[in-house]
Chain A
């Protein structure tokens, strides 16, 4: 455990240096990147649509949606390439495949979280958004969705190591998956049969929790934290087993 902690620390520092360099504002990009992304999309929404959407302030709706998307999508997609890019590091016996994936995912998790926190705080202080109604519920949703991103990253990393085509296929299917993940809608707005379908998508539950926490009881939400937890646990387990298999076959 001590060794793994040490290795993770070393990998995190290394990742920061290689990705952001030492010059310029470097490390700040870690959260500026998702922040800019969220800001740009939110601005587009703000100008294109009405100020209010079914009684929900559009800015807060967009900020929660795109921050949450950045959370699970960036975490999993950065994890996906962790081994391809860094396999030579496993020359050092202490450096395990799981460490490579964890360090990349964790860094992205931190970036997305800082980005969301800063955006929310600045927007609330300037009066663009209201403060969240139930911060505990919001954080729970956020953590569960982050966990989902990590677990998805495990599986995606193992898949892309196994099948060369996986990365390309993922590029193609990720947009419909993102659409279905609840960035653009609340479950409550959908007709009943669509609700039933969309509630199978794990990310929707995290998204609903975050928005429930943010807007309080002003909105009706349909999340089942238990469902997301079970999905996360199964995916984590499957992901770890797949990564174990990856590390056995790895030829650095």
Chain B
């Protein structure tokens, strides 16, 4: 189980302090798939980064009773001048895995072919998304944090993700940020809405969406 307690995050800007998250409580149980809805700049990615530990909250506690992936997002995590293979090696070393055991799976899932040996900076965003997914699946986390990148994939990629993450790894938790209603409806069991630094939880996706539409207009 993962528990956020009274998380506050304040950024310092030129114009003074800017509170992005203002007292967030959230519990993620094993196997739960949670969607995060919110307008641009409402703090979705910040929340994901605090969950993962990439950023520290200004106040509040994060209890991590499961292993969490790094935020699978567009920026970060990969080193763009290294090849896909070198990035895989680096991440395997960081998480204490033997990369030889995982290589085949990652090459297979990402379908990068000879691009595995090209620098990540030459990848399209779809290719990056495939590599990020493949590596995070190979590391086998208990909870996957997915920040938008699912939305760049094509139908084939979606089908594969669905199979790997939502069928084969049904028991794993997942937190998904996406602007596309379709993705959250498709994959998540419940949804939360971020607005004005506060988090509102809903039991069904539909009620979350109704609220989200109402507050964003």
Contacts and interface: CB of A to CB of B under 8 A. Distances in A.
Contact of B94 (A94, A248, A249): A94
Interface stretch (B27-35, B74-82, B100-108, B153-161): B74-82
A14 B90 contact: yes
Interface residues on A, range: 20 to 34
Given A14-B86, A88-B79, A3 B52 contact: no
Contacts of B95: 92, 94
Given A91-B54, A93-B53, A252 B94 contact: no
B122 to A, nearest CB: 16
Contact of B55 (A9, A17, A94, A252): A252
A252 B93 contact: no
A49 to B, nearest CB: 43
B11 A91 contact: no
Contacts of B11: 251
Given A6-B96, A7-B94, A17-B86, A93 B79 contact: no
B51 to A, nearest CB: 10
Nearest to B54: A91
Contact of A10 (B53, B78, B94): B94
A241 interface: no
Given A6-B93, A9-B93, A10-B90, A93 B54 contact: yes
Contacts of B75: 88
Interface of A: 2-3, 6-7, 9-10, 13-14, 17-18, 88-95, 247-252
25 contacts: A3-B96, A6-B94, A6-B96, A9-B93, A10-B90, A10-B93, A13-B89, A13-B93, A14-B86, A14-B90, A17-B82, A17-B86, A18-B79, A88-B78, A88-B79, A89-B79, A91-B52, A91-B71, A93-B68, A94-B94, A95-B94, A249-B56, A251-B11, A252-B55, A252-B76
